[in-house]
């Protein structure tokens, strides 16, 4: 029997402000959890976290990921990536960053609306939630239309934090906005990430969940990446098989990995 080819294309190390795990430990954990291929995707927030620009942390992450590639040769394939947050909030710096490094893989992410805090930090009892979600989808569409990244990270991210009683139980009221984002992804050949972190949080589902992944397929989406969004070694590779199952149930036969920005399709069994 063939074994599933496991890929975890989303994880953070001590070069992200919200992780203190060494890259070596993360790579060892990946081998231990049966991953064949991973991407290191430390945060680069164009408006957030860093006060001294992106250079320092990302330069170190990129360099060390190169060392890890050599160290783990024959045992684990390692892509040098980033999780690029809010690229349009500082487009000039973003373009400069992407021109400065030959990343294997760029995850596009939106953690906060323009001039707002991360969705993680709100007191949601004080927020007009439907209005906020409308803005989220609108900004995200602009980001996808710009399109200089390989996979869209954790689509529907705000739902990871908004209390369930503050919005309708399904996405029906935002269906058109969701379709617009998914169509733009499909047209640009950008992958949709199935982020498995939701399975270890209250929301209890992948982000996005099966109906949205399925809709992406219906609208012509071809590329899926799967990632744990691990910030500690114990979460590396976590629920990757569940993520692949969601992809399969949605009608995808392949998961995609990236080398120097070029996609490779890997059969899901």
Which is nearest to 29 in space by CA: 75, 63, 73, 62?
Answer: 75
Q: Are 10 and 227 in contact (CB under 8 A)?
A: yes
Comparing CB distances to Zn ion, the nearer of 83 and 104 is: 83
Q: Are 11 and 41 in contact (CB under 8 A)?
A: yes
Write out the two tokens for 126.
Answer: 């004080």
Write out the two tokens for 8.
Answer: 């975890």
**Binding marks (x or -) toward Zn ion, 225..244, rule CB under 5 A?**
----x---------------
Q: Does 110 bind Zn ion (CB under 5 A)?
A: no
Looking only at residues 22 through 51 of this chain, which bind Zn ion when binding is defined by CB under 5 A?
none
Comparing CB distances to Zn ion, the nearer of 106 and 109 is: 109
Task: Pick one of 82, 109, 186, 246: the residue that binds Zn ion (CB under 5 A).
Answer: 109
Among the residue ranges 105-113, 117-125, 208-216, 240-248, the one whose residues contact Zn ion (CB under 5 A): 105-113
- Beta bridge mates, 77: 37
CA atoms within 13 A on the CB side of 249: 13
Q: Does 193 bind Zn ion (CB under 5 A)?
A: no
Strands (E), the chain: 7-8, 37-45, 77-85, 105-109, 151-152, 191-195, 224-227, 254-259, 262-267
Among the residue ranges 18-26, 63-71, 80-88, 243-251, the one whose residues contact Zn ion (CB under 5 A): 80-88
Comparing CB distances to Zn ion, the nearer of 104 and 229 is: 229
Which is nearest to 76 in space by CA: 114, 37, 130?
Answer: 37
Comparing CB distances to Zn ion, the nearer of 217 and 257 is: 257
Task: Pick one of 42, 83, 193, 209: the residue that binds Zn ion (CB under 5 A).
Answer: 83
Q: How far apart are CA 114 and CA 201, in angstroms?
A: 26
Among the residue ranges 25-33, 109-117, 118-126, 171-179, the one whose residues contact Zn ion (CB under 5 A): 109-117
With CB under 5 A as the rule, give the number of residues binding Zn ion.
3
Residues that bind Zn ion (CB under 5 A): 83, 109, 229
């Amino acid at each position: 029997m063939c074994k599933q080819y496991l890929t975890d294309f989303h994880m953070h190390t001590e070069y992200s402000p919200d992780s203190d795990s060494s890259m070596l430990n993360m790579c060892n954990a990946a081998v231990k959890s049966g991953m064949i291929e991973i991407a290191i995707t430390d945060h680069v927030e164009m408006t957030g976290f860093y006060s001294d620009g992106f250079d320092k942390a990302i330069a170190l992450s990129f360099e060390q990921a190169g060392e890890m590639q050599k160290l783990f040769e024959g045992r684990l394939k390692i892509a040098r990536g980033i999780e690029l947050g809010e690229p349009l909030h500082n487009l000039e710096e973003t373009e400069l960053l992407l021109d400065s490094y030959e990343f294997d893989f760029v995850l596009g992410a939106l953690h906060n609306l323009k001039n707002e805090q991360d969705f993680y930090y709100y007191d949601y009892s004080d927020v007009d939630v439907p209005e906020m979600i409308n803005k989220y989808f609108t900004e995200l569409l602009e980001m996808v239309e710009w399109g200089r990244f390989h996979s869209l990270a954790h689509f529907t991210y705000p739902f990871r934090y908004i209390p369930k009683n503050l919005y309708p139980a399904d996405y029906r009221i935002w269906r058109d906005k969701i379709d617009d984002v998914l169509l733009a992804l499909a047209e640009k050949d950008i992958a949709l990430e199935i982020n498995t972190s939701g399975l270890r949080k209250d929301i209890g589902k992948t982000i996005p969940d099966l109906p949205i992944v399925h809709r992406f397929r219906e609208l012509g989406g071809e590329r899926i990446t799967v990632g744990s969004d691990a910030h500690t070694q114990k979460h590396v590779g976590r629920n990757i098989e569940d993520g692949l199952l969601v992809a399969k149930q949605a009608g995808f036969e392949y998961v995609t990995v990236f080398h120097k920005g070029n996609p490779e399709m890997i059969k899901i069994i």
